[in-house]
Amino acid sequence: MGQPNNALAALMSEAGMSAAGLARRVNGLGGPQRLAYDYTAVYRWVRKGECPRGSVPALIARVLSEALDRRITTADIGMAAGNQTTGPATAPPVSLVGTAGRRMTEVARAEPATGGLAMARGDELARPATVSPPIMAPVDDEADEIEALELVRRVAASDVGGETVGRLEHVVDDLAMRYSVTPPAQLMVRVRRYLAYSSDLLDHAVRKTLDEHRRLVVVSAWLSLLAATLHIDLKQPAMADARLLTAASLASHAGHREIEAWVLETRAWSALTNGDYPAALRLAQAARSVAPRDSSVAIQATAQEGRAWARLGRADETYEAIGRVEHLVAGLARPDRPEHHYQYDPGKATAYFATTLAWVGDPAAEGYARQVIAQLEHVGGWPRRVAAAQVDLGLALIAANRPDEAAGVTQVAILSGRIVPSNHWRALEVVSALEAAGLPEAAQVRDAYEALRRGELTPRALPAGPGDPATSNGT
């Protein structure tokens, strides 16, 4: 048995391409060769290091070049002459779970900031789909989990099975809890793997009950929403928009108003980070109107509305929104999983007050920011939220005419490396204010900010703590 072809598997993972998807595309380029590869052949290429003969390695490289929008060679995929164990000249007969159907895909090209992350292209929409777990490498825990899911699916009474769907629902919760403590680019890899798998299961040729189908649609909607949020964090707006369109469509199909509201709330945050405050206000209000009563998204949409009013300089409306958030969280019990991105923890309200009051220029922001920092430093484990509070504190200290203190606390926040790209503007706001004040230390803070902007301060992922209600997109 040959060694696993980690180069091929890494490129497949980067392109978000499942084994079945790669097999279909290679077959489609085969022309007169009438290729008939399925996901089991791709599995052998990746896990056993087999190399197909003839022009097939070049076809694989071509498929990945088109998916990633850059030139990929046979050497890049670990299939240059003599690199791998030689496999059969032709593929075995295709063993299809279904021979027709439409695979749910999203159409978008990678943006310059993606580092090669690209979604499946639109030409998969009209091609037959074989159900298979995406191949990933190097072999890791997520690969083992998806293989376990596939094994459960195959022994179930239906092609999907309630246990498989239940485990996917558990994965969604786990990813949502990892959001606040994992660098966005790193978490994106996991999210896209599970999206590829759930998309394969949604193929109408795969037998499933009506309940299983709806639950899979909801799973895919949550995963698309989380992927969109990560794209926003990474400043990839076109990719984020494609994901949000998909999440909204799936949520509408499933009649899931909570996800529909989260899509609008996420769009509101994106507009806020882009400086389009009127749009942020409209979207936050729309999210609030759609959200189920007293739900987490209803609270968060109200908070986003207050932030938008603050950026528009409308103090009265800002304080009114703050009052509504206070009312909504009064008596609200702490959730079982406060670190879950889509479950509102009352502890988030203090951080929200710090940010919103700092933006509206209220001196009370300083006290709230210091309270957040003290509480989190006492508990430990959540530096991203601490960094956000430090930036808020810096802005509040600028308003209080204490720029020297603002410089110190802001530099600490920046050097932590825990400020994601979508929040760089918040740090830059303080840096610019320090420079305008003529503070000598402003040059050092600017240097730290430029290092952050260039990606030189990227931190490693931390283990999940007992509960971090904060998230990198300020929600």
Give pLDDT tens digits for 411-431: 999 998 888 888 899 999 999
Helix, strand, coil % in the chain, rounded to nearest 5: 60, 0, 35
Tokens of 355: 């940010």
Ranges under pLDDT 70 in the chain: 1-2, 39, 81-159, 204, 379-381, 458-475
Predicted confidence at residue 475, as pLDDT, reads 47
Helices (H), 179-314: 184-201, 210-233, 237-254, 257-273, 277-290, 296-311
Domain extents in the chain: 1-101
Predicted confidence at residue 160, as pLDDT, reads 72
Of 140, 101, 118, the C-alpha closest to 63 is: 118
Give pLDDT tens digits for 204-229: 677 788 899 999 999 999 999 999 99
- Give dist(CA 241, CA 369) in Å, integer: 32
Predicted confidence at residue 330, as pLDDT, reads 87
Predicted confidence at residue 148, as pLDDT, reads 54
Predicted confidence at residue 22, as pLDDT, reads 87
The answer to whether residues 472 and 420 touch, using CB atoms and an 8 Å cutoff, is yes
- Give dist(CA 188, CA 190) in Å, integer: 5
Helices (H), 18-109: 19-29, 39-47, 56-68
Query: How many other C-beta atoms lie within 10 A of the C-beta of residue 93?
Result: 8
Of 227, 231, 226, 232, the C-alpha closest to 271 is: 232
Q: Which residues of 177-210 are buried (b: 16+ CB within 10 A; e: fewer)?
A: bbbbbbbbbebbbbbbbbbbbbbbbbbebbebee
CA dihedral 248, 252, 253, 258 (to 10 degrees): 90
